[in-house]
Amino acid sequence: MIVSDRIRVLIVDDSALMRRALKEVILTDTSLEVVGVARDGQDAIEKVHELKPDVVTMDINMPVMDGLTSMQHILSDYPETSILMVSSLTAEGALATFEALELGAFDYVAKPSGTVSSNIHIVGREIIQKIKLAYKSVNKKSMRERVQRRSDMTPPKRVKLVKKQDLKEKSLSKVVVIGISTGGPGTLMEVLPRLPQDLGAAVIIVQHMPPAFTVSFAKRLNDACSILVKEADAGDVLKNGKGYLAAGGYQLVVRGESGVLRLSTTPKTIFMPSVNVTMESVLDAYGGKKIVGVLMTGMGDDGADAMVKIRRAGGITIAEDESTAVVFGMPREAIERGGAEIILPSYKIADAIIKAVRKA
């Protein structure tokens, strides 16, 4: 019997057109094979039991059983299976995608033009790349443990012990800049809710994410956190105890010590927003000693060079340890280049941020 060494993929979507289009995209790479297709969440569970795929591409809105419910059954029975969500660029699709990521999905690909996207080939390269990452790079044990830790967290993610209110205005103490990519939404939900309302620093979050998703993600973070979190707008001014999520499709930069935020379409980089661009603008505005740089899960090296500069300028830099990183790319590059003073698993990073902010 010949055993294939190709990555085995199951496609789940209620649209026959989408199933066919996704199959065509995936089969353009000879290292991948489509072992089957499923038309709804219940069918997906049965096909996973029968075919034992390595990776499942999962639609969210389907009849009989939706993708979120199906994913939870699959991960319960086959925790080593990687789930890649394929979701629509709508507010509803975004919220469901974030919930999936928090429940253990590896990552997502946004459909370019609605629930049925005949032009799915536009994101074909991204689909293939993320299927390979899901199979090879994902820290599956870490993801399961992270989901368990979040379920054990108190207070629950949507309950606040302290009512949000405007604290007495103080001059900006420090700026925490967090850079993150693949695996980021779930990891951020483990870190940001642990930051206290009186943190004494502004928090900038640069998450690689398409424009249509950042508004919804900012709202989800705000609901889960003690600090106020919003999508950054041009003209916003950095303040202690508030979080600013970089808007998708733009570079987020800080201009001058007044902490005014600007959105720019330049420079053109692979990722917009870019962690390097934002971190370097904060460094230019405030100098290193006022900055806490944090780099967590993600592929590539965005942010690694800026972390080196921040550390050399006297700032405190924190990188996520390989033991919890969903994809150990960005933090590894920062560590190897000497840009990480502190290296910790994700569940210890919030405490390290608090300690760094309060350090004289």
The reply to whether 208 belongs to the active site is yes
CATH topology of domain 7-136: Rossmann fold (3.40.50)
How far apart are the C-alpha atoms of 254 and 233, rounded to whole Å? 11
pLDDT for res 122: 85
CATH topology of domain 174-358: Rossmann fold (3.40.50)
Find the Cα–Cα–Cα–Cα dihedral 232, 236, 239, 243, rounded to 10°. -10
Cβ proximity of 78 and 52 under 8 Å: yes
Question: Is residue 304 packed enough to be buried (19+ CB in 10 Å), middle (13-18) or exposed (0-12)?
Answer: buried
Quote the pTM value: 0.88
Instruction: Tell me whether the omega of the peptide bond preceding residue 267 falls within 30 degrees of 0, making it cis.
Output: yes
Tally of CA atoms within 13 A in the half-sphere of 190 that contains its CB = 32
Which residues of 195-350 form beta strands (DSSP E)? 201-207, 228-231, 242-245, 251-255, 260-264, 291-295, 316-320, 342-344
How far apart are the C-alpha atoms of 319 and 180, rounded to whole Å? 10
How far apart are the C-alpha atoms of 52 and 79, rounded to whole Å? 11
The residue among 285, 194, 175, 287 whose CA lies nearest residue 240 is 175
How far apart are the C-alpha atoms of 187 and 327, rounded to whole Å? 11
Tens digit of pLDDT at every position of the chain (360 positions): 344 689 999 999 999 999 999 999 999 999 999 999 999 999 999 999 999 999 999 999 899 999 999 999 999 999 889 999 998 766 777 888 898 988 889 999 988 766 666 678 888 999 999 999 999 865 555 566 666 665 566 543 434 444 444 445 568 889 999 999 998 998 999 999 999 999 999 999 999 998 889 999 999 999 999 999 999 999 999 999 999 999 999 999 999 889 999 999 999 999 999 999 999 999 999 999 999 999 999 999 999 999 999 999 999 999 999 999 989 999 999 999 999 999 999 999 999 999 999 986
What is the tens place of the pLDDT at every residue in 162-197?
Answer: 444 444 556 888 999 999 999 899 899 999 999 999
What is the tens place of the pLDDT at every residue in 264-287?
Answer: 999 999 999 999 999 999 999 999
Domain spans in the chain, listed from the N-terminal domain onward = 7-136, 174-358
pLDDT for res 117: 65
Phi, psi of 62 (to 5 degrees): -140, 155
How far apart are the C-alpha atoms of 211 and 117, rounded to whole Å? 18
What is the tens place of the pLDDT at every residue in 14-42?
Answer: 999 999 999 999 999 999 999 999 999 99
The reply to whether 49 belongs to the active site is no
* Tokens 């302290």 -> residue: 162
Q: Which of 70, 181, 274, 346 is catalytic?
A: 181
How far apart are the C-alpha atoms of 146 and 79, rounded to whole Å? 13
Phi, psi of 231 (to 5 degrees): -70, 130
User: Strand 260-264 and strand 251-255: pairing?
Assistant: antiparallel
Query: Comparing 7-136 with 174-358, is the CATH topology the same?
Result: yes
Q: Which of 59, 66, 107, 302 is catalytic?
A: 302
Q: Which of 208, 216, 274, 346 is catalytic?
A: 208
Cβ within 8 Å of residue 92, ≥6 positions away: none
* Tokens 């502004």 -> residue: 202
